[in-house]
Amino acid sequence: MKTAPTRLESTAMNIDRSVLPGEKIDFGRPMLRIFGQRIDMRVVMTVGIVTLLALACGFAGLMLGKFSLTPGEVFQGLFGQADRRIVNTVVGEWRAPRIIAGIVLGAGLGVSGAVFQSLTRNPLGSPDIIGFSTGAYTGGIVTIIVLGSGYISTALGAIIGGIATAALVYLLTWKGGVQGFRLIIVGIALTAMLNAFNTWLIMRADLELAMAAATWGAGSLNGMGWSTITPAAIVTVVLALACGLFARDLHTLELGDDTAKALGVRNEPVRAALILVAVALVAVVTAAAGPIAFVALAAPQIGRRIAKAQGTSLLASAAVGALLLVGADLIAQHALGDIQLPVGVVTVSIGGIYLIWLLVQEARKAK
Amino acid sequence: MTVSVTPSSAKEDADTGRTSGRALLIKRTTGLITAVIALVLVVLASLAIGARDMPVTEVLDAFFAPTGSDDQLVVLELRLPRTVLGILVGMGLGLAGGLIQALTRNPLADPGILGVNAGASFAVTIGIGFFGITSINGYIWFAFVGALLTTVGVYIIGSSGPTRTVDPIRLTLAGVAMAAVLTGLTKGILLTNERAFDSFRSWDVGAIAGRDFGAVTAVLPFIAVGTVLALALAHSLNAVALGDDLAASLGTSVNRTRVLSILAVTLLAGAATAAAGPIGFIGLMIPHIARWIVGPDQRWILAYSVLLSPILLLASDVIGRVVMKPGELQVGVVTAFVGAPVLIALVRRKKASGL
């Protein structure tokens, strides 16, 4: 399961190779200095471009729909200045919260995935390995089936389910320390039980409730309003910034526990804090939009490849996450005419197709 | 499962030499015999216990002194096909899991990695949504074809790498990607089609109830061929576990072993999933439990998997019939609830076992 492909080599591809056969010299890449932090120019550029693309998708989302608008009308509507009252409502009240949700929650998922993949040093690492998503799904279904579908109760149920599962996995793994392989096996075992339980609940419930639970379980931005997204967005941004504070320690930890320690990072507290923040991020997103699959998994991988960054880049990952979710939501809303798909269905498909494309591409390059 | 957990065979061999090799053989054989006895007991329980309980003598009479009474009909017409199917499905999943873990050298791999479950689910969804299939027996062929085609696709992507051979990591990634796309499509269809969703959810849970002998005869040949292939490959897989280069120098064709293993996994897991729906836990976990008992020798791991998997599946099925009497809990649900605690207990007791 060790990947971490050799980024160092690819950044130095074009350098004169006459020094020694098989040996390359890396002269580094242009760096930007902000507040004493060195930031890679290519990462900055990539993040800029991807963010612009995400905003463009968001703008398209504001224009499209049953009530389609011109770009001018959208601008007017955004500031509440449109001549026709209805435009203000459509843009400001109906469509804007959904777009904001796509961008902010997508970025949140990207950051959380990046933290988990960085901490586990595994490209398949995601909040799933400690059972969070499955537990959240269980909590969500149980509340929908027992209390009926309501936003706040479902969100609460999801958060309680997710955190309880994560805590249980952690406790069952604990035996004078948490060992990686044991954590994974316990996580899988509990996830298997919960999955079975979820399928059974869905199978026994009334068809209508079961559909509602399954739709919520796929992750959806349908019907997102300001009352939902405002608190969720604020918390997401704060937590993402908190991750940003740890970014340097995170990169140091990627070098290995011993090296990090030697470089002055207090491994255990930093790791615990990062896990806590990353889980909280997923919890907030899940509460607002349901368990959206694959963004946390794919965003760090995609971001890292297009930014050609060394190690995981939180910024690139956040930007790609935002683009993925907003773009996928655009497709989910408009691809099938009147039928609205849950966005999670689209993120899974797009992420999978991208991964296949990447594999085929690598094969072609190698020939 | 009364077999005790023994330390890793390699270590023991190194410590005490030949005599302990013999002790180990005895231990492994005793375990095997215990497992066979356990399997026979579970089969009898599966024939005797249910909505209508009956003594074992009545069950035996149904075979050896048939009178045509209601009880005997229940045994012969309902419980026998169900039990036989349980054995076949269990064997298929357990063996496929052992093979795929040996093949990818990844302890987290399960038959689903090759896209078997996702492919079968997608095809069943198509069958329900576009062809109006509604019977359990009608799903079988859709599921089987879906599983086969998906595995072929995963294999093509996974083996298209620079070396033109089957690269385990590429194979895993290809499987994950393919499964993601198909799962997305499946959900997309189901969530926009209420009727299809309704039929699908009862297949998705994984069950061996309500299948007749038609289902048994449909999957039997595939599982039989897959089992023979798997057991024949065990020796080569031992060599492959040492690494590609060493295996090649020992005269094992690494690529041929991988291709044949994938074929066996496809037959076994495809047929099992077609017959019973997606049952997740067995293929992932039974090989681990087998490995903890017998050590790293694939021949023993596969042999134990053949026996332990049907024991878990049938025991779960029997428990499912008892806990919600007169209703039933589907075996796919119970399996995880019976197996997971055992697994957690084992992983807490033992030092972690890699491959």
Q: What sign does the dihedral B323-B324-B326-B328 (CA atoms) show?
A: negative
CA distance A168 to chain B (A): 12
pLDDT band, very low/low/confident/very high, at B163 (cuts 50, 70, 90)? low
CB contact residues (below 8 A), chain B span 319-338, against chain A: 329-330, 332-337
Structure tokens at B218: 């449909």
Question: Per residue in B90-117, is it b (16+ CB within 10 Å) or e — as a string?
Answer: bbbbbbbbbbbbbbbbbbbbbbbbbbbb
Name the pairing type of β-strands A31-34 and A37-40: antiparallel
List Cα–Cα distances, A98 to A102, A106, A221, A280, A332, in angstroms. 6, 12, 6, 21, 12
- Quick one: three-class SS letters along B115-158? CHHHHHHHHHHHHHHHHCCCCHHHHHHHHHHHHHHHHHHHHHHH
Contacts of A31 by beta carbon, 8 Å cutoff, 6+ apart:
A38, A39, A40, A41
Q: Which residues of B touch A211 (CB under 8 A)?
A: 191, 194, 197
Name all domains of chain B by residue range, CATH numbers in brackets. 9-331 (1.10.3470.10)
Average pLDDT over residues B328-352: 79
CB contact residues (below 8 A), chain B span 64-93, against chain A: none
Q: Are residues A188 and B333, on separate chains, in Cβ contact within 8 Å?
A: no
| pLDDT tens for chain A, residues 1 to 367 | 334 444 443 444 444 444 455 555 666 666 666 655 566 777 888 889 999 999 999 888 888 877 778 888 888 877 777 777 777 778 878 888 889 999 999 999 999 988 888 877 666 666 666 677 888 889 988 988 888 767 778 888 888 888 898 888 878 877 766 666 677 778 878 888 898 888 888 888 888 888 888 888 888 888 788 888 888 899 999 999 988 888 888 878 777 777 877 887 777 778 778 888 888 888 888 888 888 877 888 888 888 877 776 666 888 899 999 999 999 999 888 877 777 788 888 888 887 887 787 777 766 766 5
> From CA B133, how far away is CA B143, in angstroms rounded?
12
pLDDT band, very low/low/confident/very high, at B310 (cuts 50, 70, 90)? very high
The third-level CATH classification (topology) of the domain covering A40-366 is ABC transporter involved in vitamin B12 uptake, BtuC (1.10.3470)
Chain A contact present for B170, CB below 8 A: yes
Verify cis geometry, omega within 30 degrees of 0, for the bond prior to B326.
yes
Out of A197, A342, A345, the one facing B333 most closely (by C-beta) is A197
CA distance B261 to chain A (A): 20
Helix and strand numbers, DSSP H then E, in chain A:
16, 2
Q: Are residues A200 and B333, on separate chains, in Cβ contact within 8 Å?
A: yes
Phi, then psi, of A34 in degrees rounded to 5: -125, 125
Nearest alpha carbon to residue B118 among B169, B168, B187, B172 = B187
Q: What is the pLDDT of residues B321-334, one digit of tens each?
A: 888 877 788 888 88
Q: Are residues A184 and B177, on separate chains, in Cβ contact within 8 Å?
A: no
Task: Using alpha carbons only, give the angle A225, A231, A232 rounded to the nearest 5 degrees.
Answer: 80
HSE, side-chain direction, 13 A CA sphere, residue A133:
25
List Cα–Cα distances, A358 to A350, B128, B174, in angstroms. 12, 33, 10
Residue with tokens 């990686």: A180
Residue with tokens 């899974």: A348
Average pLDDT over residues B257-267: 89
Nearest alpha carbon to residue A114 among A330, A318, A256 = A318
Nearest CA in chain B to A341: B188
Q: What is the DSSP string of B291-334?
A: HHHH-S-HHHHHHHHHHHHHHHHHHHHHHHHHHTTTS---HHHH
Chain A contact present for B281, CB below 8 A: yes
Phi, then psi, of B137 in degrees rounded to 5: -70, -25
Q: Where are the domains of chain A?
A: 40-366
Nearest alpha carbon to residue A317 among A7, A168, A107 = A107
Out of B106, B182, B192, the one facing A1 most closely (by C-beta) is B106
Check residues A89 and B18 and name the one with the higher pLDDT: A89
> From CA B78, how far away is CA B222, in angstroms rounded?
23
